[in-house]
Chain A
Amino acid sequence: MATRREMLQLIGGTAALTGLPGLALAAPSVELRGGERRLVFVFLRGGMDGLSAVPAYGDPQFAARRGDLAVGAPGTLGGALDLDGSFGLSPYLAEMHKLYAARELAVLHAVASPYRERSHFDAQNLLENGTAKPFGRESGWLNAALAAGAHAVSQSRGLALGQSIPLVLRGSAHVSSWSPSALPAPDADLLERLAELYRGDALLARSFAAAREAQGMLEGRDAARGMGGGPQAVVALAKAAGEILGKHDGPRVASIDFGGWDTHINQLGEYSALTRNLRLLDRSVATLKDALGTAWRQTAVLVVTEFGRTVAPNGSSGTDHGTAGAAFVAGGAVRGGRVIADWPGLGASALYEGRDLRPTLDLRSLFKAALAAQLGLSEAALESHVFPDSRAVRPLEGLFA
């Protein structure tokens, strides 16, 4: 099936189309399709241990290199859930494994952003700002994509689930944010007066308008009840994301922040932070799917982290900051059921700087493909505005339906 961009080119180009309403009406199916696609960005902050989430049990070095942290082969006690005979999923990702079986989840491995140092905060900043260096830009690539696609996609506003808007969604395109509240809503007259008062403060005016929109969208919905806070909050945010994105006239892009993946100690067992996080991720993805309803069919969910962790355990049954790791793409818009990895191996000479999984795929290849498919962005826009100087990084082909 042709992409939206290809369809537009066939018709005669974006500019001509948007300039002439009559022509837009001539291609209703294209408009509908472009406008119905959703994109959710889930950022696992702290550095998810990719070899625990997606054990490469088929690699002959895996068991020895991982030591106590090696997840067993499928079929063994506490072993991996098999993906393709070489890679498996953590046993705590059972719902995601079902999606994989339904070809609605693809697994990427040995992926990394262009960042090659080991600071969380620089790594997160770079991954979000879309340039090839930390603090290379003060805004984020997902916002840049919204700004670039605003004229092509009818519904393009973004929504951050959580109290703050992460860098990836900050920038010139208007985005909102939402999280559950324990307090009663302010009265309507106060809000009108504040709208007037904020006219002299551009920043507050913009946030205020966005907040009113988000509040309107969730009025009376399940997700609006209940309180935020605690590790379980991410599941509630996933539910809200699904409810808002599932609306016919809602935003089409959302971000969810999920922290706590910096597992320097005790990754093992039922009670570890890593286990808890994997379970919450699994529940969040399943919850998002349920809450989206039929809109799941047009949705792609990107699940990424700022870097992987060391291949070998450190001295504390945990792992230190590493380089390449794993990522997930879920949704009805995804051609899933496969592992995408140019596997570098775990032999001593294969490791990056002798300690980390070597990156063989740039995460921007995933992001570019997702933005092209889900937001209809052109390659030119992706290379100039969204991921500057990224021409050499080719979008992954055939990942999105």
Chain B
Amino acid sequence: MALDSVIAVNRFGLGAGPGELAAAAADPRGWLAKQAGEPAPAYLEFSKLAHSSEALKEYPRWIASLRPVRAGMQDSSSQGSRQAPRTVEETFRGHFGPIMREEIGARLAAAAATPAPFQERLVWFWANHFTVSAEKPLVFALVGSFEREAIRPQVTGRFADLLLAAARHPAMIFYLDNHRSVRQGWQPLRPARSAAFPSPTGLNENLAREILELHTLGVNGGYTQADVTEFARVLTGWTVRAQGSPGFLFDPARHEPGTRTLLGRTYAQDGVAQGEAVLRDLAAHPATALHVATKLARHFIADEPPPQAVARIARAFSDTDGDLPSVYAALLDCPEAWERPLAKLKTPIEYVVSCLRALPALRTAQPQALFFTLRGMGQRPFFAPSPQGWPDTTQAWAGADALWKRIEWSGIVAARAGSGVDPLHLASESYGDALGAATRRAIERAESRQQGLALWLASPEFQRR
């Protein structure tokens, strides 16, 4: 039982906060199952953050502000200035930078204190499955609200609803360029603002492809290039309204009308409902169940997901029509999920948050400092490198430089904590009797509490889950 609670808080949670291991010890699986089935806690940290519609209202004003910037760029290049002018992206990030800082700070603070760390891990899992990234300027001001609006409310619901919420969110539409995908012959009401931003003239297949490849069927899920193109036609018209009441907009004028055939099924012309019908069928497809099950097992159990675990989770997915609490229950029922070794490495965000959980005094750190730390470790929050999201294997996070950055951070944190923290007590709060002899010995023999704390935060046990 003792080991089960260690696994519950470390493998499925975000590392132990004070007293958490003891709280989970009575019924580790029940402690997790409760988090997997209940609505999300109402995080105070999120109460001040703006809805995506607020950020979208700023877009027209921001775009207008670009004109002088561009004129400036032309001037400086004609003078042969060596000082690089601010790019559109830099200008955008300057404009929305304060929003991003608040978003990151709130996300890390909520995770550091949450009583439902398993549910938070599930939120991050799905946010990574449906990646939108601030690497793309248009999405910069929307990544945080995407997670709050499209992911969090659906995490204990049904997969189909999660898929629809993600696909319709302005952040996803912008990230995968669907606002630029239109039927042949579409004419904008107004001519393009400038030659640098020409009006779209036809299909853009980015969103359609990534929904098939990444969000639903998986790359070997049996679709063809013809399916991608056909799906892109279905999704024309799924765009974003920036004026008036901003948000998702289905624009019939941009939509390619007609009956579409996709993966052997025929979908009648039905406006936005045509796309919704395709998404619901994709959500119910057996390849989607397998794809999602494989990713869940890889994330929570092992880089090489045990086939029995994948099969069990996929069966639950199919049997319950993608009822996510049932899917999570199947994950927790996998015997493989409760076996040693804890072989996976925490991602940098998981690692830093587990430090914040273990050391409440650290939670007063400036969001900016945490952001720079995570950037150095290779995982800037909200800046995933591609639509595939962050990698989810140990090898991807175990490189020399990534380890070195964790060690540097351990040293800094320990120096800040000083001698007020008993590292052996902290280790037992996280690992109880399961703490390895080598790590215990290293902490006991440290020259100071401070050094002992650095050793604990850099130890294999603390880095793995």
Also in contact, A120 and B388, with CB within 8 A (given A179-B376, A268-B195, A270-B73): yes
User: A210: which B residues are within 8 A, CB to CB?
Assistant: 400
Q: Is A85 an interface residue (CB 8 A)?
A: no
**Are the CB atoms of A198 and B460 closer together than 8 Å?**
yes
Whole-angstrom distance between the Cβ of B396 and the nearest chain A Cβ: 6
A203-B405 Cα distance, complex, nearest whole Å:
16
Residues of B167-220 contacting chain A, CB below 8 A: 176-177, 180-182, 195-198, 200-206, 209, 213-214, 219
Q: Is A221 an interface residue (CB 8 A)?
A: no
Q: Is A45 an interface residue (CB 8 A)?
A: yes
A68-B199 Cα distance, complex, nearest whole Å:
12
Q: Is A181 an interface residue (CB 8 A)?
A: yes
Whole-angstrom distance between the Cβ of A215 and the nearest chain B Cβ: 7
Whole-angstrom distance between the Cβ of A111 and the nearest chain B Cβ: 21
Also in contact, A317 and B386, with CB within 8 A (given A164-B399, A187-B411): no
**Are the CB atoms of B196 and A268 closer together than 8 Å?**
yes
**Are the CB atoms of A264 and B206 closer together than 8 Å?**
yes
Also in contact, A211 and B180, with CB within 8 A (given A227-B372, A268-B198): no
User: B410: which A residues are within 8 A, CB to CB?
Assistant: 186
Among candidates B198, B375, B446, residue contacting A317 with C-beta atoms closer than 8 Å: B198
A76-B198 Cα distance, complex, nearest whole Å:
22
**Are the CB atoms of B408 and A185 closer together than 8 Å?**
yes
Q: Which of these binds chain A: B39-47, B309-317, B450-458?
A: B450-458
User: B395: which A residues are within 8 A, CB to CB?
Assistant: 138, 165, 170
Residues of A170-224 contacting chain B, CB below 8 A: 170, 175-187, 189-191, 193-194, 196-201, 203-204, 207-208, 210-211, 214-215
**Are the CB atoms of B88 and A271 closer together than 8 Å?**
yes
A169: nearest residue on chain B (CB-CB)?
A: B399
**Are the CB atoms of A197 and B409 closer together than 8 Å?**
no
**Are the CB atoms of A165 and B204 closer together than 8 Å?**
no
Q: Is B412 an interface residue (CB 8 A)?
A: yes
Whole-angstrom distance between the Cβ of A49 and the nearest chain B Cβ: 14
Q: Is A315 an interface residue (CB 8 A)?
A: yes
B88, B387, B407, B447, most chain A CB atoms within 10 A: B407
Q: Is A81 an interface residue (CB 8 A)?
A: no
**Are the CB atoms of A197 and B439 closer together than 8 Å?**
yes
Could you tell me the dominant secondary structure of chain A's interface residues? Answer: loop
Also in contact, A165 and B454, with CB within 8 A (given A183-B412, A200-B438): no
A199-B438 Cα distance, complex, nearest whole Å:
9
B436: nearest residue on chain A (CB-CB)?
A: A200
User: B263: which A residues are within 8 A, CB to CB?
Assistant: none
A162-B180 Cα distance, complex, nearest whole Å:
33
Q: Is B113 an interface residue (CB 8 A)?
A: no
A194-B452 Cα distance, complex, nearest whole Å:
11
Among candidates A160, A185, A353, residue contacting B399 with C-beta atoms closer than 8 Å: A160
**Are the CB atoms of B378 and A316 closer together than 8 Å?**
no
Also in contact, A207 and B388, with CB within 8 A (given A170-B395, A186-B411, A271-B196): no
Among candidates A68, A197, A314, A315, residue contacting B438 with C-beta atoms closer than 8 Å: A197
**Are the CB atoms of B380 and A229 closer together than 8 Å?**
yes
Among candidates A214, A228, A316, residue contacting B180 with C-beta atoms closer than 8 Å: A316
**Are the CB atoms of A211 and B403 closer together than 8 Å?**
yes
Chain A interfacial residues counted at CB < 8 A: 73
Q: Mark B381-397, 1 if CB is under 8 A from A, else 0.
A: 00001111001001111
**Are the CB atoms of A201 and B460 closer together than 8 Å?**
yes
A315-B177 Cα distance, complex, nearest whole Å:
10
A160: nearest residue on chain B (CB-CB)?
A: B399
**Are the CB atoms of B460 and A204 closer together than 8 Å?**
yes
User: B296: which A residues are within 8 A, CB to CB?
Assistant: none
**Are the CB atoms of B376 and A315 closer together than 8 Å?**
no
Also in contact, A184 and B376, with CB within 8 A (given A177-B402, A315-B203): no
Whole-angstrom distance between the Cβ of B89 and the nearest chain A Cβ: 8
Among candidates A164, A182, A184, A203, residue contacting B396 with C-beta atoms closer than 8 Å: A164
Among candidates B196, B203, B400, residue contacting A178 with C-beta atoms closer than 8 Å: B400
**Are the CB atoms of A164 and B378 closer together than 8 Å?**
yes
Among candidates A194, A228, A315, residue contacting B200 with C-beta atoms closer than 8 Å: A315
Also in contact, A190 and B454, with CB within 8 A (given A197-B442, A320-B204): yes
Q: Mark A270-286, 1 if CB is under 8 A from B, else 0.
A: 11100010000000000
Whole-angstrom distance between the Cβ of B213 and the nearest chain A Cβ: 5
Residues of A138-188 contacting chain B, CB below 8 A: 138, 160, 162-165, 170, 175-187
A121-B460 Cα distance, complex, nearest whole Å:
30
**Are the CB atoms of B401 and A177 closer together than 8 Å?**
yes
Also in contact, A183 and B405, with CB within 8 A (given A203-B394, A265-B180, A276-B87): yes
Q: Is B70 an interface residue (CB 8 A)?
A: yes
Q: Is A259 an interface residue (CB 8 A)?
A: yes
Q: Mark A314-329, 1 if CB is under 8 A from B, else 0.
A: 1111101100000000
Provide 29 A-B residue pairs closer than 8 Å at the C-beta atoms, listed in order of the A residue: A118-B209, A119-B209, A121-B219, A138-B395, A160-B399, A165-B399, A165-B400, A170-B395, A176-B400, A184-B412, A193-B455, A197-B438, A197-B460, A200-B436, A211-B403, A214-B401, A229-B375, A265-B180, A266-B198, A270-B77, A271-B73, A271-B88, A271-B196, A314-B203, A314-B205, A315-B180, A318-B177, A318-B180, A321-B209
Smallest CB-CB A-B distances: 8 pairs: A163-B378, A315-B202, A316-B180, A211-B400, A210-B400, A177-B401, A165-B399, A211-B404
11 further interface pairs, Cβ-Cβ under 8 Å (given A163-B376, A215-B404, A320-B206): A118-B209, A163-B402, A164-B399, A182-B376, A203-B394, A204-B463, A207-B399, A208-B403, A265-B177, A276-B87, A315-B182
